Each structure stands twice: as C-alpha cells, then as structure tokens.
Amino acid sequence: MSSISVNGGEDVSQFRIADVIAKKREGLPLSPQEIRHVVEATMTGQAQDCQLGALLMAIRLKGMNPEETMTLTKEMVTSGSVLNWPEEWSGLLVDKHSTGGVGDKVSLPLAPALAACGCKVPMISGRGLGHTGGTLDKLESIPGFSSQQNPEQMLEILHSVGCCIVGQSKNLVPADKIFYEMRDVTATVDSLPLITASIMSKKVAENLSALILDVKFGAAAQSPTIEEAKHLAHSLVNVGDSLGISTVALITNMDSPIGRCVGNSLEVIEALECLEGHGPEDLRELVLRAGGYLLWLCGRAESEIQGEEKIASVLRDGSALQCFRKMLEAQGVKPDIARTISSSSKLGKTSHIEELKVYKTGTVGLIQARPIADVLNALGAGRKKATDTINHSVGAELLVREGQHVEKGAPWIRVYYDEPLLQDKDRQTLQNALCISEQPPFIPAPRVRDIICAQRKAAEHGDTVRRQGEIS
C-alpha cells in the first residue's frame, strides 16, 4: 500500500511569521491562510526556532478558537501522508487514544478484541516519557517484537490479523514532531489547542472511521481535575467529529494505578490475563467500555452495551487472545513464542525482588499512582528523555487493592529491580503512596466517570450515562 500525499497548494508567501506572532500575542484569531503559512514555513525551515517558540507561547497564553484549532489540525495532516485503505474496509477502521497514565495497558487487549469482532485496528502508539508508560515499550518487552512497520506491512497485517500496534512513521504528520519537540522545551505542552491538534492530526492521517479517547484526570494525569479533562475531551471530540471521525471520549480517573501491575513486562502479563478472560476488574472495565463504544460507533453493535457484550465474549472464548498471538508473530516475534504466550509466560527477570509491608491496620483508601511511577522510572522502567534506554523487567506488583481491609505487617507491594538499587528514600516514597484509613472496607468507584459525545451522536445515543457494573 502506498500512502497518498496531501497539499494545500495555496500561495501563502505574502505572510510574515513575525506578523502572525504579533497577531496572536494580542489575542486575535489567526486566519486559515496564516496557520497554513506557519506550518509550511516550519516544514521548509523558513520559520526560526525562536519564532516558532514565540508563537507556541502566544497560543499557550491566548488560546485558539475552535475554527483555528480545526485548521491547525488539518494543516498538520497535510504536512505529510495519509494512510490509504481498501474500500471494503470503509466504516470498520477504528483506534483508541489515551492521554497517558500509570499501569495503562488497555490497548494491548483492546486492539485484538476489536479485531476478533471484525474491526480493522491500525493502532499507532507511542513510547513512555516522564511518569507515563508507553504501549510500544510494553510490547517490546516481548523478544522480537517490532513496532516499525511501513504502510505496506501494516496493510498486510491488517489483512491477515485485523490489528497492528506500531510507531508513528516519519511521513505521518511530520509537522507534529517538530511542533511537539519545540513545545517540550518551551513549556507549552499543556496548551489545549496544541494538544488537540497533535492528537487528532495523527488520527485523521490514519483515515479512521471511529475513535475512542480515554481522557484521564487526577493526580497522575495530564489534567488534574475532571473539569479540565472534560474541556479537553470536548475539544478532541468536536474536531474528530467535524473531520469525519465518529468520536467518543471516556473521562476516566487516574489517581491510582490501573490494574495490579506497573512496569513493561509485568503489564504485558496482566494484559494476557485480560485476554484470557480474567484480570483486574478496572482493566476489564476500561477494555469493555472502550471496545463497546467503538463497536457501536462503527456499526458492529446496536448499542455500546451490546458492544461490551461482544468484547466480553471474544475475551472469554479465546478469539481475542488468538488475534494477539497472530499480531505478535506478524510483527516479528518468533512463532514458538507468539503462539504459546500466556499469563504464565516469563518475560524477563530481575536480580532483586523486594516486598514492602503495610505500616498500620485499616482500610486501603488510596494507592497513589504517581509516586510509584516516579520510583520505578528512577529504577530504569521509564525515561526522563526520549533517548534513554529502559529496563523492561523493572516494575511493581500491588498485593492489595483499594477498599480492602489490611493488617499491619502484611506485604502490600512487590518491587522488581536490578541497578540502580532501591534506596531508603525510594522505600519511603512508596510507603507514602499507600493511604490507610479507618473507614470500613468499600467497593472502589468505577474508572469511567463520564462520557463525552458529539451533539449529533449524543442525540442518537440518548442517555450516555448508564448503569455501572461489569459484563461477565
């Protein structure tokens, strides 16, 4: 399959970057032609780094209206290629994007489950940076797995398997790579219109039919409050829907780790538990909800509830697991490993395993995700900068859960590490992440706290906030 190039084709040479910066500095909206000029000047090297940084800061401080955000998204798409799929796949191409979390291995069981339900899933994922984990890093803990697949290879894998999980190619939205690297060094990463354009341009370039967004809020999320997460979700959903992608956002809590495990190889094992029909309930909740909505959005289910039932069925009967194994083999894993991998597989070991004890009797009120992630990253599980090498085997396993009664002295976390060694200050940080209360045991709140649909889709959907609970 060859990718197809898109180009605005309009002469924008009459604009000056300095004038565009001044206009946005005053809080005025930029015209489509001015935004096109900025993107083209960035791609051709005509925009100096200092100019692009100044413009990004002006956007961060003054914002962009929905029309500007939409235009920026489209111009980012036209900076490179878009993926071109067979006509018979129209309506079946789906993907998921998460704003990043701790223990977030949802994509690993979700993609093959959707493929087992008849969807085509060209999932383009990223690597971990800072305290958040990356889907590609998790999969690369499986020996031989290759995330670098060109469009022709993606097409072949989607034909034979139905899903692939790959890294972003150089030709897909190259302007976003330049913009993001500049945002990273100019303290403008958290700009809502820039986040929206960055995320949605890549999804538009994938040529998708439907998209589910997992927009997280909480102490370990990009959006600290649910109000901020909803604001971002509305921006993302509106752009996606306006550009022809049926889009829904789940607003999910990210105070505590998802599931029991944090760390690349440990999270793969936990994802395999889910693919075997088991696994932690909060992980299953996110997989079922995301998958259920996507099946509804692309017409493979009459409602998101029926979609959840279909996802639960392919997890239960093993067909999702078989898709996962086929995907691994198609992406470079040796057949003897890919065809037998399961939750009992060993994906590496560390030289040190240490358990920490509960410091007082009571009820686990909260297990804070951010401190755990920070300690593990310092031990080698993550990156401070994109070029850092990670140790896939470093991680932690939670031995207790929120709402559970625990006794003083019982083990609550198991830490796997090599070098550097776990220090006393790290142990104290981890102990502080465990919050013990005197309240009686309780059932933790669901991860999904709200659903954001575009207006026309919400009208079809009716009441988007429905009963909680798990489909068995």
Say how many C-beta atoms besides its own lie within 10 A of residue 425's C-beta: 10
Q: Give the amino acid at 336.
A: D
Return the pLDDT at 457.
Answer: 55
Q: From residue 171, how far is each of 5, 81, 335 by CA, in Å?
A: 9, 6, 30
C-alpha R_g of the chain: 22
Say if residue 24's pLDDT is above 50.
yes
Say if residue 469's pLDDT is above 90.
no
Condensed to tens digits (0 to 9), the pLDDT of residues 118-177 reads 999 999 988 876 778 789 999 999 999 999 999 999 999 999 999 999 998 889 999 999
Condensed to tens digits (0 to 9), the pLDDT of residues 180-234 reads 889 988 999 889 999 999 999 999 999 999 999 999 999 999 899 999 999 999 9
Domain locations in the chain as residue ranges: 4-81, 83-342+447-461, 352-437
Return the pLDDT at 127.
Answer: 80
Show Cβ contacts of residue 397 under 8 Å, excluding neighbours closer than 6 positions.
260, 261, 266, 413, 414, 416
Mean pLDDT of 360-377: 97
With cut-offs at 50, 70 and 90, classify the pLDDT of residue 471. very low
- Identify the DSSP state of 93: B
Say if residue 30's pLDDT is above 60.
yes
Tokens standing for residue 255 = 């105070």
Say if residue 414's pLDDT is above 60.
yes
Q: Please tell me the distance from the alpha carbon of residue 441 to that of residue 143, in angstroms, as a whole number.
A: 41
pTM of the entire predicted model: 0.90
- Beta partners for 137? none
Return the pLDDT at 140.
Answer: 95
Tokens standing for residue 277 = 């029909």
The correct answer on CATH 1.10.1740.10 for the domain covering 4-81 is: no
Q: Please tell me the distance from the alpha carbon of residue 282 to that of residue 260, in angstroms, as a whole number.
A: 10
CATH placement of domain 352-437: 3.90.1170.30
Topology at the third CATH level for domain 83-342+447-461: Pyrimidine Nucleoside Phosphorylase; Chain A, domain 2 (3.40.1030)
Q: Which residues are catalytic?
A: 97, 176, 183, 198, 202
Return the pLDDT at 361.
Answer: 98
Where helices occur in 298-413 by DSSP H, the ranges are 304-317, 319-330, 335-338, 369-376
Condensed to tens digits (0 to 9), the pLDDT of residues 74-115 reads 999 999 999 999 999 999 999 999 998 999 999 999 999 999
- Beta partners for 450? 251
Tokens standing for residue 379 = 């031990």
